[in-house]
Amino acid sequence: MDYFIVDIGNSRIKGAHFRDNALREEWSMTAISELNRLADTLVFERALVSSVKWRKDELEASLGFPFVYFDYETGLPVKNCYETPFTLGLDRIAAVIGARCFKPEGPLLAIDLGTCITYEFLDSDNSYLGGGISPGIQLRAEAMHRHTARLPLVEWPKDGVPLIGRNTRSCMQSGMYYGVRHEVFGMIQSYSAAYPGLGVYICGGDAKYFESLTKEHIFVIPNLVLYGLNRILSYNVEKLRA
């Protein structure tokens, strides 16, 4: 089966072509018109659209292809035990479902290193229990700049981050990077101690900075959310056929 997966964020639109659950190609764009042009060049049986910006009726009026709209009422291949499911970010549940594609059994933790860092836990019974949320790297940089009198707004260095900062900028960069690194590693240790056999899957825009964390049970898979959305579509297609 050929599926077209669309993830519409606040600033970017991601598209992906899956064939028999394998990611064949992916794209990034900024406008719905670009998305429609892309769809016209593809051959696919089903499409799923997830959006943080537009409602289903708005997308139906602007998209030139039929699609399944992913929202809180969409069927999931996991049991959602979150206490407030209507406040749960759809990308969060998609990430942990994507992680399940790579670890069919046992407990797992999906970590998304984006604007915020999110931790999503799925137990051995395939129950999503929740996780944690903390500020991401850039959010920490902006907070230090906005809520102090003299700290500058620093950007991520291209040539690595020294452990010991030698000036204010490099001190901030060191604190940001190693603060996040030790937070993530500490969370992995805490979850691993509580749930033996834990698999850890890291995604998100800042995941590339933490590939050194990769170990036997820790994997960096940038497109985890797209895999999760594809699995959600497959699950709902299977339900319709049953």
Active site residues: 91
92 among annotated binding-site residues: yes
9 among annotated binding-site residues: yes
11 among annotated binding-site residues: yes
224 among annotated binding-site residues: no
Written as six digits, the tokens of 174 are 């060191």
Handedness of CA 211, 130, 199, 225 (dihedral sign): negative
7 among annotated binding-site residues: yes
C-alpha span between 43 and 82 (Å, rounded): 36
DSSP β-bridge partners for residue 8: 13, 51
206 among annotated binding-site residues: no
131 among annotated binding-site residues: no
115 among annotated binding-site residues: yes
89 among annotated binding-site residues: yes
188 among annotated binding-site residues: no
Residues making up the binding site:
7-14, 82, 89-92, 112, 115, 168
Residues making up the binding site for K(+):
112
Residues making up the binding site for substrate:
82, 89-92, 168
Residues making up the binding site for ATP:
7-14, 115
